[in-house]
Every structure is written in C-alpha cells, then in structure tokens.
Structure 1
Amino acid sequence: MTTNILFFAILITTIGVSYYGFNNSNFFNRYMFNVGAVQRGDYLRLISSGFLHANWEHLIFNMISLYFFHGIIIHGMGSFIFLLIYLGSIVFGNLFSLYIYRHQSYYSAIGASGGVSGIIFAAIALFPYLQVNFIPGWFFGTLYFSYSVYMMLNPRQGDNLGHAAHLGGAIFGLVAIAFFEPMVIIQNALYLGIMALPLGYMGYKLLKK
C-alpha cells in the first residue's frame, strides 16, 4: 500500500509538472536547472528541474525506469529512505552538474534522470547480481559508469544527455547505501569496487584540471 501511494504520488506530480511545462515555456524556463541562475542563488531549480521533462518520451522512459526499481528500495529500506535517495539524487546530480559546468553559465538541464539513477544504483549496491537488461547489475553499472564518464569528459555536439547529472545521482545512491547499510557494501566490495573504477578515473581527470 505504501509503495503504491509513494510511487504514484511522485508519478502524478512529475506528470503534472512536466505536462504544464510542455505547454508553458515561462514556467519551464523558470524552474529548469540553469548554471547561471543557480549561481545567482536560485536554488529551487536544483530540485524543481527533476519534475520537468523535454517531451513525453523523456518523461515515460524515466517513470518506467523508476517503476521497475522503486519497490526494491521501499521494501528493502522503507519509504523514507527511498524518498531521501530519490530527491537527494536529483539535487546532488544537479550540484555535480553545477560543478562540472561552473564556467558555462548558459548550461541548462531538466529531467528525473538523476533521481532515477540514484534509485537504480542503490538497488544494485544492495543486490549486485540484480538483472538489469539481462546482465548482472554490477556489470551493467561498470558499463554505465564507463560510458557516462567518457561522454562527460569528451562531450559531443548534439549530445543532449545530462551525463553529469546521471553520474551525480548514481553516486548519491551508492553513498546512501554505504551510509545506511555499510555491511552490505563490505559484503559486495569486490563487485562494487570493479563498478566504481570508472569513477576513480573520473576523479583523477577532474583533479588534474
């Protein structure tokens, strides 16, 4: 019952806010993530942007992904932790984007992808052999991190995916599990360590800049 109420509350809110944004450009521009606006103190955008989407395809993909993984966290850790990870991952994903693009005041982004990534990777941290697209979760995570880190460090023209927000959200999800369930992290240290190798490379490259 709790699972349905919480998930559907997020689902309905996200659909409603996104739909309004589809039809109201002023509302969309006011609440999307934008580096310059956040740097000027408009911190509400760090969370509000997670409820806006570019189009129906973007919205549906994120909500379906959240649907498939939300139950793992709610049943395993409770609804409060699920909500904390979801909203925290949206905020941290945007904060990470703010750091990465701090010299590009024009950079903007929208979408729940950071929050969804946080939930997915929290689930993988709890169950490394969880099947994601028919492969073990830890291996999927390794590929995901490798691709996202590469694309973030080597941006391509026309690539509109927010790789930094995805990475930031995923990192928050992993850290949350490490904080609330440290023994699980220790038990799964080998697989999670392999999965985190691209993040180590990312940290090295960012420190060199």
Structure 2
Amino acid sequence: MDALLQSPITLALLLLNGAISGYALLVDFSLIDELSFRPARIRERGEYYRFLTAGFVHAGGAHLAFNMITLYFFGPLLERILGAGAFLILYFGSEMTAHGLTYLYHRTDSHYAAVGASGAISGVLFAFCLYAPLTMLGVMMVIPMPAILFAVLYVAVSVYALGNGGHAGGIAHEAHLGGALGGVVITILLDYPRPINAFLREMQTLIG
C-alpha cells in the first residue's frame, strides 16, 4: 500500500477506472455505449474522444478487477522507474496504439465495439518485461511463468487470433497486441538505453 501511495499516477488511474466503470455498471449502463470504442462511429462522425474514453469503462466487474489488479501490481514499480510524467505517457500512449490497431482492423465494421483498459495494461506489462524479463509472474494468478515467456506466448496467441478473426472468444486481441507493442516502443524511447540494457543483462544471465 505504501508503494501505491507513493505512485500518484497509478493511484489516480485506479480511482478513475473504478469510479467511472462502477458508475456505468451500477448506475447508468448506457454510459458504456456512449464511451466505448466504436471505429465506425469515429470514422463516420469524428467521435475521436472514444480513443480515450473507452479505456475507462469495462464490460463487467471481473473485467475491471483483472485490469486493475494488474495495474496495481506493475504500475507503482514502473512509475518509480520512469517517473510520474513518463509513466503517464506510457499508459495513455499504449492505449492509443491499442486503439489505433483496433481502428485499422475494424474501421468499417458498424457493429464492432470494445471497452476496457486492456490495451494500456498490456503496455504496462510489456514495459515491465523489458526491465525484469525473468521475474516470475503468476499467470491467471496461479501458473508460475517468467515474464519473457508470458510475453512470447501472449504475442503468439494474439497473432494467431488475428489471423482467425481477431475478436475470437470476445477478446480484442488486436488491442492487446497494439498495446503491448506500443508499451515496448514507448518505454525504449522514454528511457533509452536503460530498458534495453536491463533486458540484455538479464538475458545474459539466462544463457550463462
């Protein structure tokens, strides 16, 4: 909890996501549709605000909880490494790249809609992998796996899913992939060469 209190951006993002998603889910469900990411509406009506607002509403309590738990565990560490301003750029930059790739795939689909902070969270998670690729993660809170292995599997699954429809299983794989790629590139640009050096150093310990 002390680490979170010393991470104002992470704390603010947790509170904003909780407040906006909670209000939409419990009080005004129509808000989810009004704020969701709808590429066709953006293209036809210029509703560009959806690139940002979609990241603050979620499809349900479990969706919200999973994203916020991930942010809770990895946000403070990255905010401490990068600084508050750079972490803010990483978070929203990853959301923009996630929605950017989603827009390219679904810009003509009038029925497509997506919500959630998953793209931004993917960027945060992959940024963490640059600094600590061998750290053991509890995938699905249970399965132990080094961060780099999780990252490779994550990308492989997303690429496979994109080749088979993209929105398989109700999961916006293109947003996950876009956020992950954005997180890696943005982190390197913000903190070059430290994340590359950290990654290579840990990989060298792995291969001896």
Q: Scaled by the length of structure 2, what TM-score is found?
A: 0.84
- Indicate yes or no: 2:70 matched with 1:65: yes
SS at match of 1:108: coil
Query: Do structure 1's residue 28 and structure 2's residue 32 form an aligned pair?
Result: yes
Name the CA distance, whole Å, in 2 between partners of 1:44 and 1:34: 10
**Identity over aligned residues, as a percent?**
31
Aligned length: 192
The question of whether the paired residues in 2 share the 8 Å contact of 1:89 and 1:169 is answered with: yes
Maintained 8 Å contact 2:7/2:79: no
Q: Which consecutive segments of 4 or more residues in structure 1 shift more than 3 A?
A: 1-4, 184-192
**What is the rounded CA distance, in whole Å, between the counterparts of 2:202 and 2:111 in structure 1?**
38
Q: Deviations over 1:27-51 (max 9, x none)?
A: 2211110011111310100010000
Structure 2 vs 1, CA of residues 157 and 108 (structure 1 numbering), >3 Å: closer, same or farther? closer
Paired residues of 1:138 and 1:191 also in contact (CA < 8 A)? no
Distance 1:170 1:105 in 2: 26
Task: Pick the aligned partner of 1:15 from 14, 18, 21.
Answer: 18
Residue equivalent to 2:206: none
Question: Gapped runs of 5+ residues in structure 1?
Answer: 193-209
State the partner residue of 1:106.
111
Aligned residue runs from structure 1 range 19-98, under 5 A: 19-22=22-25, 23-39=27-43, 40-98=45-103
- Partner Cα separation in structure 2 for residue 157 and residue 148 of structure 1: 10
- Give, in whole Å, the separation in 1 of the partners of 2:42 and 2:94: 17
What is the Cα deviation at residue 186 of structure 1?
4.2
Encode CA deviations 1:85-143: one digit per residue, 9 max, x unaligned. Answer: 11111122111100011232321100010111110101111222122223221111001
SS of the residue corresponding to residue 109 of structure 1 reads: coil
Sort the Cα spacing of 1:129 and 1:115 in 2 relative to 1 into closer, same or farther, 3 A.
same
- Indicate how the Cα distance of structure 1 residues 82 and 105 shifts in structure 2: closer, same or farther if over 3 A, else same: same
When the two chains are superposed, the root-mean-square deviation of aligned CA atoms in Å is 2.1
